[in-house]
Amino acid sequence: MLQLVEIDKLDSYEITRQYGFCPSSFIENPNTAYSYHRGDKLKLPTEKAFPTIFPQDFSILATVRLKHEQIQKIFDVTDEKGKSQLAMSIGNNIVLHYHLSEDSPSTVEFLNVKLNDLRWHRIALSIKGDSVTLIIDCKVITSKLLNRTLTENLKFNKGMLYVLQDKAGSVSFSGAIEQLLIIPTPSGAYDQCTIYSPCSESDKIGDEMQLQEPVSG
């Protein structure tokens, strides 16, 4: 989703570029992560963001570094009235917002995950049937019930996708982010550490970069 909203094209006063989760001595520019400040540009009509039928079962993958415990929304898909249909919030808790309609909102909350240690974390949600499974740093944490009907899918029509910002353009997530993906299979969450966000110890420059503040504009 970061590529969809073209975050890499923003100016230095709108975002800060910084070291990512797995900076490598073999990469010329290790500044692969972003912190959003302003600009109201990280948005896209849902017809462009999701041009095909949205899958019933899917995965959400994020590689993030939090600054504090406050729960903040990393993305939000809204309908034409501006009401949330699909969103994910991260902080001391991890929350999935899944609304098939105004009459059937569903929120799944994973409590006390405590990721605000200034280190990078790989977070994945696997949505399959009536359950949501949380995976953090390659380890399955737990599964919870997703109260939804299985006879219909999410339909995004004339809405908007917002990434790291709210509808007004203000910051909705103040941490750093390197990856944000929706994979059209529930198994994608289990492949985050091997396919979508791998990192071997031989590639990493060092632990000090995990804690380092932004280095470039």
Read off the tokens for 119. Answer: 């280190």
| Under 8 Å between Cβ of 63 and 176 | no
Instruction: Determine phi and psi for 49, rounding to 5 degrees.
Output: -70, -40
* pLDDT band per the 50, 70, 90 thresholds, residue 208: very low
Give the pLDDT confidence of 86-121 residue by residue, as tens digits. 999 999 999 999 998 767 778 999 999 988 888 999
What confidence score (pLDDT) does residue 29 get?
A: 60
Residue 20 is predicted with a pLDDT of: 85
pLDDT at 25: 55
Query: Model confidence over 133-163: pLDDT tens digits?
Result: 999 999 999 999 999 988 888 999 889 999 9
Report whether pLDDT(209) > 60. no
Residues 6+ apart with CB under 8 A from 33: 17, 18, 19, 20, 21, 63, 65, 176, 177, 178
3 state SS of 170:
coil
- Indicate if the pLDDT at residue 169 is higher than 70: yes
Residue 165 has pLDDT above 90, yes or no: yes
Question: What residue type is 74 in one-letter code?
Answer: I
Do 189 and 179 meet the contact criterion of CB atoms below 8 Å apart? Answer: no
Whether pLDDT at 174 is above 70: yes
Tell me the torsion sign for CA atoms 197, 199, 205, 207: positive
Architecture of domain 7-199: Sandwich (2.60)
Are 197 and 179 in contact by the 8 Å Cβ rule? The answer is yes
- This model's pTM is above 0.85: yes
pLDDT given for residue 123 in this prediction: 96
How would you class 7 by CB atoms within 10 Å of its CB: exposed for 0-12, middle for 13-18, buried for 19 or more?
buried
Euclidean distance between the first and final Cα of the chain, in Å?
A: 21
Where exactly are the structural domains of the chain?
7-199
Looking at the predicted structure, is the pLDDT value of residue 126 above 50?
yes
Q: What is the pLDDT of residues 6-61, one digit of tens each?
A: 998 888 889 998 888 886 655 566 668 999 999 889 999 999 999 999 999 999 99
Question: If pLDDT is split at 50, 70 and 90, which confidence band does 184 have?
Answer: very high
